[in-house]
Amino acid sequence: MRCFIAAEIPEEAKYSLADIQTSLKVKVKAKWVEKENLHITLKFLGELDSRKVNLVQKVLEELKEKQFGFFIKGIGCFPQPDKAKVLFAQCNCLPLFGIYKYIHKKTLRINKTQEKRNFNPHITLARLKIPQNISLLLGKIPVPKAEYKIKRITLFESQLRKEGPVYFKIFTKNLAE
């Protein structure tokens, strides 16, 4: 099964981000991520058999982290504003880096897949089928000034379907209060 580990974001953050998506839909032609699928990816694991899924679950069970807050600091894109392929909400959250390092180190022996880019905590909002120049939009998109709380880290299965990906929770680690 195709798997990834993510920090689940609270419903109030999803609603705020859905509002941003709505305001951008008239300006950017893209495949928009469904509100219920919004999350912060910590590690894409690729295809795992049930034995490896169990090992990843043990890694998450051993995670010792308390709930923590994050802010949305702006809207960005990959790879660059004049040829955007992905539109995202940039997250300001130091604890995510520690969790990322822990997960990355502990899962290397399970799955040799290594991310070639530096960890950049974000929430994907849209994927652009044709790269677009969104330079003029960036910086003009208002973002909520609220702090949101991360309470769970989850191992998901991702099933790719014609209408878009469907995510299934395999295991959830509730963070301590």
Q: Please tell me whether the peptide bond between 131 and the residue prior to it is cis, using omega within 30 degrees of 0.
A: no
Would you please indicate which residues are annotated as catalytic (active-site) residues?
39, 122
Handedness of CA 117, 40, 7, 55 (dihedral sign): negative
Q: Where are the beta strands (DSSP E) in 48-165?
A: 68-78, 84-92, 122-132, 147-150, 152-159
Burial 31-66 (b: 16+ CB within 10 A, else e): ebbeeebbbbbbbebeebeeebbeebeebbeeeeee
